[in-house]
Copies of this chain bind each other. A is one copy, B any other.
Amino acid sequence: MFNVKVKSDVIKGIIDVTSPLVNEAKFNITPKGISLKAVDPAHVAMVELTIKNTAFEEYKSTDMELGIDLDKLSGIMRLANSGEMVSLEYDEKSNRLIVKIGNLVRRMGLIDTAGMPDSKVPNLDLPAKAVITASELSKGVRASEAVSDHLALSVDKDAFELFAEGDTDTVNLKLPKDLLVELNASGKFKSLFSIDYFTNMIKPVKAEEPITISLGNDNPIRVDFDFAGKKGHVTYLLAPRIESE
């Protein structure tokens, strides 16, 4: 059984976070909430999302899985206004998800989850951490797109730094400790990442909200942020690009 009522924005938030990496996703559902883990086809990035049942107006569910075409669900959510309540119910007999928006009833076919493996989230020991406002980070990343396809992120005990270098042009965003929400690094740590992937990871976060960056040396980056009024949480992992010297 899966039968919930929720503001359309919460579902839109889940889609925004997941759809940059995969077109289809397996949602793991329990009485306490929903989670998913997904890896992009190139195996460069991974997303782990959890959302508590308290993010929903009404929530009734047993343990189950739902395989969902995210493009299709996104199209359905566009029929709902911002703030509008939608209901989602799994119909076992027809194996459909029944989405109700006002008087509209939309029955949606599901994807067989048998072929969808549970991605395992690697246990990473990332020694440095910086918490940054989304708008600051996003300006640095947008500037970097014009000069390169990859950027370097580094953290030391005094500052977080973003750096991108093209043939003639460079971008540098240095945020000293007092401009950060939090900074925690014992030494200097630096890794290179694809700008495309990183852009998509921070795009869902609203301008004034904090993003937590965890970093090592030539190691993956971990990006963490909350959504749905802090009742949902997202963790992205992104593999580093190794600097050729």
Contacts and interface: CB of A to CB of B under 8 A. Distances in A.
Contact of A103 (B76, B109, B136, B169): B136
9 closest pairs, A vs B, by CB?
A109-B168, A105-B172, A107-B170, A104-B173, A75-B146, A108-B169, A79-B143, A109-B169, A106-B171
Interface in A74-131: 75-76, 79, 96, 101-109
Nearest to A135: B102
A75 to B, nearest CB: 5
A230 interface: no
Nearest to A108: B169
Interface residue tally on A, bucketed by range? 20 to 34
A104 B171 contact: yes
A151 B58 CA distance: 32
Nearest to A162: B104
Residue among A105, A106, A171, A172 with max Cβ neighbours from chain B (10 Å): A106
A179 interface: yes
A195 to B, nearest CB: 14
Contacts of A104: 139-140, 143, 171-173
16 contacts: A72-B146, A76-B143, A79-B143, A101-B139, A102-B136, A103-B174, A104-B140, A104-B171, A104-B173, A105-B173, A105-B174, A106-B171, A106-B172, A108-B169, A109-B168, A109-B169
Contacts of A108: 168-169
Given A79-B142, A102-B139, A109-B167, 8 more contacts: A96-B169, A102-B136, A103-B173, A104-B173, A105-B172, A105-B173, A106-B170, A106-B172
Given A79-B142, A101-B139, A104-B140, A72 B169 contact: yes
A109 B171 CA distance: 12
Contacts of A76: 143, 146
A204 to B, nearest CB: 20
A106 to B, nearest CB: 6
A22 interface: no
Contacts of A70: none
